[in-house]
Structure 1
Amino acid sequence: MKHKISKLMLFAALIPLWGCVEVRDKEVTIAPPATPAPKVIERKFSDLVVNQDLYLYKGGLRTKQEMDALIANEGLLREVETYSLQFQKIIFSAEGRLFTMGNVVTLKAEELISEEGHILTFPEGQVAPLGHDGRHGGHIALIIENAEGLLSIVLRGENGGQGHPGKDPDLALKGKKGRDANGGLCVNGKIREACTPDPGGQGLPGYQGLPGYRGGNTGTLSLEIKSKSKFQPKIYRLVGKGGSGGVGGKGGQGGDGGDSINRKKPRVGAGSQGPEGPQGKPGPYGQDGIQESVCAVNESGANCI
């Protein structure tokens, strides 16, 4: 299923947005604060120059090399963190990308200058581990006094994890037993084929894999730009794809071969065991995430889509 991509060009006046805004039946209400309130990681800096990939992770800004080393040593942590980061100036080069990693992030600055830089919730192709839903894109709040230039903001949900494999085969999937040899017919020479038992039947197909896990929602965005005559944000909302279904389970065991004409030891000279059944079908894909709101506020109220 293809993603629906929503691209917004916001050239209208953007003024202070107070708090998180919910839209219900076209009425705007202030969302109640979370209980208990999350711990906020607060940092103050002079300037931030984003001229490479930077990741907001484990309490700080990490380079690609630092991020790779952390993941290699301890795996990717999936807990959501809440940040409030304040700067004098933020500068994005064309190569600069800031990944918020699904966290709840407030970026405050006196000045923002962007030469076609990017703010993104997750890297493209980010996938949840096996058996996990994709993460929500979190929330990004930009509170800027003066902004200029072109800045792309990509709200992307994490893709859902793959479903679990189909369960192991049990006796219900075992193939049928082969035809036994018939001593009476064989001895009398009436039917020579009766002297030899048949091999067992093929096992049944394995169990189907379990469904893939749900893709993450895009996350939300609020913009508070006080002076923005030269500022051109491009906003994209990309839902996380549903995860692929789990692989099918192993096919059932082949059936036992038929008994021989040896009455005391019927399994001596018995027919061969049947072949294993085919692998089960893969599970269905999980559901995609959904697009969430982008909000700005003016004197008339909140504008959300």
Structure 2
Amino acid sequence: METNVEPGDQAGVEPGNGRGVEHRLSAEKLAVGYDQREIIHDLSVRIPTGKITVVVGANACGKSTLLKALARLLKPSRGAVLLDGKSIQQTPTRQVATKLGLLPQSPTAPEGITVADLVGRGRYPRQGWIRQWTRGDDAAIADAMTSTDVLEIADRPIDELSGGQRQRVWIAMALAQETDILLLDEPTTFLDLTHQFEVLDLLVDLNKRDDRTIVLVLHDLNQACRFGDHLIAMKDGAIVAEGNPSEVITEEVVQDVFGLAVKIIPDPVAGTPMVVPIGRHTTRADQVSRSSVNTAAKALAASAAANGICRPTDR
């Protein structure tokens, strides 16, 4: 029986664990869109293997579209996505699912399904006519649920959870899939600041422990700089800049991509670039101006009182 396993995939790998080989993901002259409208235009990119790549850009710039194309959810109108040098569109679905996992932006779960059952679905790509459920599957699910702090709510229905809890359960399902490449579209959505950092720290742990290739879309540029090894900045369906955070996140690039005037300073904790928006009403000069106005008003009021002049409202 054909197993769709490439030569070398089993070398030094525990059965069911596909992370023994570092799989490669790239795109060449990619064009993708929806309903005759092209979103991504002739985009070529090579995802660094074993690194954390963060895709940033303004809303509707093509970040999520790129992620879906890389995950084979969207078929390119031109160009190709390559997984290990082969067209991902021509690779069997189950084989793709054992190498590459995706957490979309707004996943939906069957009504009434429990946390444990949903996380367990991450193991489905590794089941087959011959290979049935094993202790290794149970261990992978337990590890994923422990890592995302959802083990204590394993028996609860997804429908009863808060947005933050639900998001962590979806991440646990993606982790249970145990793929060498993990794509996440805005994984910190609905999470408070504490859980945002817990999720991002978790992704760093997974990257360091397994050399897992991780690609995620983030809106927070400071988090992108802190946690990303490699940044891709997009605008209008094209890549404006990519590379180390210090090379990508500059005042000029942020102005170009987001249309926002900023100052870039070193992050006092991580030393990575830190983006400080200038804005129109929160500058130091604005605060000084307000202080001067307040001081002048107080001086005028004191002078009027000293001269016995009554205000109109006091008459």
TM-score by length of 2: 0.26
Q: Which protein has the bigger helix share?
A: 2
Q: Please say which structure displays the higher CA radius of gyration.
A: 1
What TM-score results when the alignment is normalised by the length of structure 1?
0.26
Structure ranking higher in strand proportion? 1
